[in-house]
């Protein structure tokens, strides 16, 4: 993932804030905006040389409870800025080690730089695999009343989605099951439904919910218990609804999850794992162990979101991924190069990320 040539590179970053179209309710609280740093890596030796220098873009967007704080992220980016100038890409990566949001921004910018310079779409630079035209995606449905939740899901299905993920956990299990039931009634039997509880249930809550969710043909229940409860998640498996771990992956890692038999799938958030390079390695690892990798965003702006699309395209036979989140934002950093069509994301085939117009001088 690091640059292999000896030209001088310069790292720059600037803060941004993008508001959500409407607050997104989750069991961890309500998200109203995404605040982070846009990262650019550019050829320092190209200054004054004429023409546009090769540049790569990344996004470092901390999320409370998942990553380092905004202040720690900025401090890490400042260290990377100095280290890249004095020691090159490897030194820059060392400077952000352990700060996952900052590392995501730096590694994505380095990868975009390299893929752009070699005129290669980012997903092929990451995976060295075949051309991929599109990846399957799911719609994300936030917390709401049963009527509102069903209406949001029905709207998503009308727009082409064949998989919906419903956020639960902010209400009682009874209320959440009622919401899922209304969704099933609204979208019919052929739409895949997933449920994300964000650690909010007890074991008894989850076991009770799974019985009802299985009757509603919910395919996947994401992180029903707190991250530490590997044995509890293992006990929930095999009861009609597959179990996915998200927060649990960050806390325990792949070996512990697979040793406990705690998951049928893991959710890969490259922004929380420390980069698209780390997420791709984890995807290959869990696939070998018979666990499905599902790529999602943390409701990110266009640079990180497009990076997640390229990551998913670099994973063979990836399931529907949670990267169709652009419509949750009221504003963005630039034009979105990813077209959503019939429940799929059309993967950009331009060089690098394919994102333009995000860095205005």
| 3-state per-residue secondary structure call for the chain | CCCCCCCCEEEEEEEEEEEEEEEEEECCEEEEEEEEEEEEEEEHHHCCCCCCCCEEEEEECCCCCCCCCHHHHHHHHHHHHHHHHHHCHHHHHHHCCCCHHHHHHHHHHHHHHHHHHCCCEHHHHHHCCCCCCEEEECEEECCCCHHHHHHHHHHHHHCCCCEEEEECCCCCHHHHHHHHHHHHHHHCCCCEEEEECCCCCCHHHHHHHHHHHHHCCEEEEECCCCCCCHHHHHHHCCCCCEEEECHHHHHHHHHHHHHHCCCCEEEECHHHHCCHHHHHHHHHHHHHCCCEEEEECCCCCHHHHHHHHHHHHCCCCCCCEECCCHHHECCCCCCCCCEEECCEEECCCCCECCCCCCCCC
Instruction: Check: CB of residue 58 under 8 Å from CB of residue 77.
Output: no
As annotated, the active-site residues are: 167, 269
**pLDDT for residue 144 is more than 70:** yes
Return the structure tokens found at 90.
């490897």
**pLDDT for residue 213 is more than 90:** yes
In the chain, the largest separation of any two C-alpha atoms, in whole Å, equals: 66
Residue 35 CB partners (closer than 8 Å, separation 6+): 15, 16, 17, 18, 61, 62, 70
Provide mean pLDDT across the span 218-244: 96
301 by Cβ neighbours in 10 Å (0-12 / 13-18 / 19+) ranks as buried
Q: List the Cα angle 102/106/112 in 5-degree steps.
A: 145
Question: So what's the pLDDT on residue 77?
Answer: 98
Return the structure tokens found at 78.
């400042």
Question: So what's the pLDDT on residue 6?
Answer: 46
Query: What are the tens digits of pLDDT across the range 38-88?
Result: 999 998 765 555 567 899 999 999 988 789 999 999 999 999 999 999 999
CA distance 71 to 4: 31
Query: What are the tens digits of pLDDT across the range 9-37?
Result: 999 999 999 999 888 765 556 788 999 99
| pTM score of the predicted model | 0.92
Lowest mean per-residue pLDDT among 4-8, 209-213, 341-345, 350-354 = 4-8
Residue 95 CB partners (closer than 8 Å, separation 6+): 76, 79, 80, 82, 83
Provide mean pLDDT across the span 338-357: 95
Residue appearing with tokens 């990566």: 93
CA distance 187 to 76: 45
CA distance 351 to 115: 6
The percentage of residues in the chain with a pLDDT greater than 90, rounded to a whole number, is 84
CA distance 341 to 326: 13
Determine phi and psi for 162, rounding to 5 degrees.
-115, 5
Backbone conformation region of residue 248, classed left if phi is above 0, alpha if psi is from -120 to 50, else beta: alpha
Query: What are the tens digits of pLDDT across the range 111-143?
Result: 999 999 999 999 999 998 899 999 999 999 988
Q: Which domains does the chain have, with CATH numbers?
A: 9-120 (3.30.390.10), 134-346 (3.20.20.120)
Strands 192-196 and 163-167: parallel
């Amino acid at each position: 993932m690091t640059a292999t040539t000896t030209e001088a590179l310069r790292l720059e970053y600037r803060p941004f804030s993008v508001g959500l179209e409407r607050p997104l309710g989750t069991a961890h609280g309500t998200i109203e905006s995404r605040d982070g740093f846009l990262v650019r890596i550019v050829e320092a030796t190209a200054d004054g040389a004429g023409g546009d220098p090769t540049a790569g873009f990344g996004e470092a967007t901390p999320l409370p409870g998942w990553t380092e704080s905004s202040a720690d992220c900025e401090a890490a980016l400042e260290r990377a800025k100095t280290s890249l100038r004095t020691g090159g890409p490897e030194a820059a990566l060392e400077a952000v080690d352990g700060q996952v949001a900052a590392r995501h921004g730096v590694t994505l910018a380095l990868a975009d730089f390299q893929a752009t310079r070699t005129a290669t779409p980012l997903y092929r630079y990451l995976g060295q695999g075949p051309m991929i035209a599109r990846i399957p995606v799911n719609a994300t449905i936030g917390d709401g009343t049963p009527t509102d939740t069903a209406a949001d899901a029905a709207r998503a299905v009308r727009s082409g989605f064949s998989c919906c993920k419903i956020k639960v956990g902010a209400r009682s299990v009874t209320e959440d099951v009622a919401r899922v039931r209304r969704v099933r009634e609204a979208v019919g039997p052929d739409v895949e439904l997933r449920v994300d509880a964000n650690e909010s249930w007890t074991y008894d809550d989850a076991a009770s919910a799974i019985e009802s969710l299985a009757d509603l043909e919910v395919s996947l229940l994401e992180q029903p218990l707190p991250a530490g409860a590997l044995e509890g998640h293992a006990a929930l498996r095999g009861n009609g609804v597959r179990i996915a771990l998200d927060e649990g992956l960050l806390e325990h890692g792949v070996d512990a999850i697979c040793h406990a038999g705690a998951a049928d799938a893991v959710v890969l958030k490259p922004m929380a794992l420390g980069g698209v390079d780390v997420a791709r390695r984890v995807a290959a690892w869990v696939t070998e162990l018979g666990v499905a990798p599902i790529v999602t965003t943390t409701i990110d702006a266009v640079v990180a979101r497009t990076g997640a699309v390229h990551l998913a395209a670099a994973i063979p036979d990836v399931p529907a991924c949670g990267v169709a989140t652009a419509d949750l934002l009221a504003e963005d950093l630039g034009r979105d190069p990813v077209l959503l069509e019939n429940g799929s994301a059309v993967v950009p085939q331009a060089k690098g990320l394919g994102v333009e117009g995000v860095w205005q001088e």
